[in-house]
Structure 1
Amino acid sequence: MDTPLRLGTRGSPLAMAQAHMVRAALIETHGMADRDIAIVTVKTTGDRVQDRPLAEIGGKALWTKELDRALGEGEIDFAVHSMKDVETIRPAAIVLAANLPRADVRERLIGAADLDELPKGARVGTSSPRRAAQLLNLRPDLSIETLRGNVATRLAAVESGAVDATLLAAAGLDRLGHGDIGTGIPVETLLPAAQQGAIGIETLAENDAVRSLIGAINDPETFHCIEAERALLYALGADCHSPVAAWAHIRDDVMTVHAELLLHDGSDRIALSAEGPPPNRLEIGRNLGRALLDGASPAVRALFAG
């Protein structure tokens, strides 16, 4: 290849680890040389602003807009994202071309062996409305404190005693070589964020050559589950302020989607599931979203625009 393909990514340690995973998959699948794919780091607003929750300063687009710009202006050929950081409505010119196989979707508790072992009034650091609402639903006595930053920053906050505990995605910890840190929380206890554990690769819709190249490393099962979860989010009208959790999986040719909506203080919650054949994944996600809104209390329903 005369000119290397340019893979765009954020510069955080986790983003770089994920970019190298995508690069390795493309090299192995297509028999490329290392020089054929160059990793280009793009600084995002989400990386620069670390002292406030994302919902206060622009939401998930803070992770994607600079990479979107780089794609549109021809600075990169494709971009790698943690799917849970990708907003539901994307620019028409950009397409999700592939997902790598999904990793562990669970949350991992840092600072205690179990949620029940946290002392009364324990300070749990998170900036996620979903995590805060879920924790307060299970343990109304907990004190939720805003905690942002990369994985190392959040681990250090627990180590230093700035907070008593925090929750981190198991997939991110594993990808950074921290598989031995924290305790995995069953999905039956804490349903993950929609799209958690999935890596996505986006490119321009009109770039057929790159779409074909990336498509060769797509994991269809992960891709279909992500489509279902995104259809659910779209039906809900969910945004970065919305306490919503969702997880789709396929077993024995049946897709099941679990989802829950909560009030921010955890005092109200609705949880439902739906299933059907994977080819109906968009319908399953949309219908589940509508059923949740129909069954939710007015207070919960008011948090969603669907």
Structure 2
Amino acid sequence: MNKTIRIGTRDSELALWQAHNVEKRLNDLGYKTEIIAVKSQGDIILDKPLYELGITGIFTKTLDIAMINGQVDIAVHSMKDVPTALPIGIVQAAVLERASTLDILVYKGNLDFLNEQGTIATGSLRRQAQWLSKYPTHKVVDLRGNVNTRMQKLQQSDWNGAVFAAAGLERINLKPSNYIDLEWMIPAPAQGAMLVVAMQKDAFTRDALSQLNHIETEIVTYIERQFLKTLEGGCTAPIGALAKYNEEDDSIHFQGVLFSLDGKEKIEIDKIVPIEEWKKLGFYSAQEILNNGGTKLMSEIKNNLKK
């Protein structure tokens, strides 16, 4: 174990927490490590909505290049930020056990605005569409930056609240007391999971990381990401997906949804299948969505985002 595994990460507090988490696990197994932090374009350009930046891979591209150039050996990501197609030569090496999949609303004052007019902030088309679907009289504004920056912007604004992933706030002890769980909101595919990628040719590092892999999380996130990949075709869209394994009857419960940007149209799927059917569950579920009007809706979303 002479090799030092160089861990690439974004330099936000949450990303560094995730990198240190992986570092500790590798150290506990006897591996030597070093953390190397870099800034991604998604962290630098904060004055544009994510969909205008070509969201796919905006937070991972810089680390991909660092890996390909040999500056780092692995990269640690929030799995929901990772494109469904990895660059040639880079492979999924470990999926860590999933944390909470919930979205939460962090609010200011009281919750009276939920029954009246309100302004909610989020940088996610998925959260925007689901919020407008449930609260059509509300206004949704764009919110960018890492979780610390977004929390700060919320406090300095006249918004009623902002939507965050519970897992991110919990990991860095930033979850305030003034929040509610949005159990009705379908999360982003792979939300709450951490992914570690490595170079395909690096057998030493891939072997080390394989010991961190959590098979149940790997399976359910595979289903969700396959659903996303089949639906989106490289386009950003309001897509939610959640797969859960039920140990009692060895089944998978899958929920998938596609919204229009304004939340007025919704195409969803909800099914329970035996665990044996997991490999094609995401694909077949996406095909059902596409056949039930999803193809037309995805085309409309692409056209609207180009305007």
TM-score, normalised to structure 2's length?
0.91
Q: After superposing the two structures, state which structure 1 stretch, 85-94 or 135-144, moved more.
A: 85-94
Partner residue, 1:209: 204
Match of 1:103 among 84, 96, 99: 99
Rounded Cα–Cα distance in structure 1 between residues aligned with 2:117 and 2:235: 26
CA 287–297 in structure 1, closer or farther in 2 if over 3 Å, else same: closer
- For 1:168-226, what per-residue CA distance to the aligned partner results, in whole angstroms no more than 9, with x for missing partners? 00000000112444434243x11111110000000011211111100101000001111
Partner residue, 1:193: 188
Give the AA of the match of 1:281.
Answer: W
Residue 21 of structure 1 aligns to a residue in which SS?
A: helix
Partner residue, 1:139: 135
Structure 2: which 5+ residue stretches go unaligned? 303-307
Partner residue, 1:31: 30
Rounded Cα–Cα distance in structure 2 between residues aligned with 1:239 and 1:120: 37
Is the 2:261–2:301 contact (alpha carbons within 8 Å) kept by the matching residues of 1? no
- 1:267 equivalent to 2:264? Answer yes
Residue 16 of structure 1 aligns to a residue in which SS?
A: helix
Partner residue, 2:156: 160
Which aligned pairs between 1:4-43 and structure 2 lie closer than 5 A?
Answer: 4-28=4-28, 30-32=29-31, 36-43=32-39
Residue 88 of structure 1 aligns to a residue in which SS?
A: coil
Is the 1:124–1:164 contact (alpha carbons within 8 Å) kept by the matching residues of 2? yes
- For 1:70-99, what per-residue CA distance to the aligned partner results, in whole angstroms no more than 9, with x for missing partners? 111111111100011011121231111111
Q: CA RMSD in A?
A: 2.0
CA 96–279 in structure 1, closer or farther in 2 if over 3 Å, else same: farther
CA 240–116 in structure 1, closer or farther in 2 if over 3 Å, else same: farther
CA 25–128 in structure 1, closer or farther in 2 if over 3 Å, else same: same
Residue 275 of structure 1 aligns to a residue in which SS?
A: strand
Q: Displacement of 1:117 after TM fit?
A: 4.7
Which aligned pairs between 1:228-267 and structure 2 lie closer than 5 A?
Answer: 228-239=223-234, 241-252=236-247, 253-267=250-264
Identical-pair percentage: 33
Give the AA of the match of 2:125.
Answer: P
Q: Displacement of 1:152 after TM fit?
A: 1.6
Rounded Cα–Cα distance in structure 1 between residues aligned with 2:35 and 2:177: 28
Match of 2:292 among 273, 290, 295: 295
Structure 1: which 5+ residue stretches go unaligned? none
Residue 140 of structure 1 aligns to a residue in which SS?
A: coil
Rounded Cα–Cα distance in structure 1 between residues aligned with 2:295 and 2:3: 56
Partner residue, 1:77: 73
Q: Displacement of 1:304 after TM fit?
A: 7.0
Partner residue, 1:63: 59
Residue 302 of structure 1 aligns to a residue in which SS?
A: helix
CA 62–133 in structure 1, closer or farther in 2 if over 3 Å, else same: same
Residue 39 of structure 1 aligns to a residue in which SS?
A: strand
Partner residue, 2:305: none
Q: After superposing the two structures, state which structure 1 stretch, 15-24 or 57-66, moved more.
A: 57-66
Q: After superposing the two structures, state which structure 1 stretch, 170-179 or 238-247, moved more.
A: 238-247
Rounded Cα–Cα distance in structure 1 between residues aligned with 2:52 and 2:26: 37
Q: Displacement of 1:302 after TM fit?
A: 2.2
- For 1:204-262, what per-residue CA distance to the aligned partner results, in whole angstroms no more than 9, with x for missing partners? 11211111100101000001111111111121125462011001110122112111110
Partner residue, 1:280: 277
Residue 60 of structure 2 aligns to a residue in which SS?
A: helix
Q: After superposing the two structures, state which structure 1 stretch, 106-115 or 169-178, moved more.
A: 106-115
